[in-house]
Amino acid sequence: MGHYVEVESGVKVYVEDVGIGQPIVFIHGWPLNSKAFEMQISELALHGFRFIGIDLRGYGKSDKPWAGYDYSTQASDVKAVVDHLGLENIVLAGFSMGGPIAIRYLTKYGEHGVDKLLLMGAAAPLFTQRDDFKIGLRPAEVDDIISQVKKDRPAFLALFANMFFEQKKSDEFLDWFKSLGLEAAAHSTINSAIALRDEDLRDELAGISLPTAIFHGQKDQICRYELGEELEKQIPNSVLVPFKYSGHGINGDEPDRFNEEMIRFLKSSGVKRAE
């Protein structure tokens, strides 16, 4: 079933809600929406979990206001959904841009009511390089992406789709994937790219005490695998799960293994593996 939740006056976000059981709150990446997780929904429901897929403001079926694309406002929108639906004992599952939004949620609201954290190809702790951080794109490369989006967004999304996956995909699959990006507003896509370029979560990792799984493709061209390694170093109770044959879109490149590892983590006691 679908819900619309008013997250601030005049702004509603769409939520896909399937299954019963512990709620797994999925936060999608740039510039997609909750449909990107369609291959996970049935698997979760079959194993007794409830899929909560939020279309972030500006994306999918949600309203597309001019402002509010920083991580803190997006995290506030996620909290509004959690509160409105009365969700308890949730797992935050953030993919790509959704990863830093999930981390910011914990920074702003604490871990009460949150059971675990799942980071998938996360654009964290930084998406772009700094003088003291040399993983990721250079800020100027994100500026170039913004220019391409402004000039010809459909053409950029076609290039992006080809970078996203390591395994060969059908033309039909890539067309579907591009269509998700076109459901977003152009201004949302650009403003979120600015957040990806500028925001820094390095001071927000050490305080996370939740059991955390970090899924990351070893051939990721968008959020380098080194980001996953950095997250494992900085988040105390975390485990890095490498996907050897995957690019950024791990749930599309290795769907069976992705779902298997996801269910294993969700059903686990959350104890970190022995070193």
Which residue is catalytic, options 96, 192, 238, 246?
96
Active site residue 248: yes
Active site residue 84: no
d(CA 108, CA 240): 24
Structure tokens that stand for 45 in this block = 């429901």
d(CA 267, CA 195): 33
Those residues with Cβ within 8 angstroms of residue 99's Cβ, 6 or more apart along the chain or in another chain: 27, 119, 120, 121, 122, 123, 124
Which residue is catalytic, options 28, 34, 188, 248?
248
Which residue is catalytic, options 63, 220, 238, 253?
220
Active site residue 203: no
Q: Check: CB of residue 114 under 8 Å from CB of residue 94.
A: no
Instruction: Name the 3-class secondary structure at 224.
Output: coil
Q: Check: CB of residue 136 under 8 Å from CB of residue 112.
A: no
d(CA 35, CA 177): 9
Residues annotated as catalytic (active site), given as ranges: 96, 220, 248
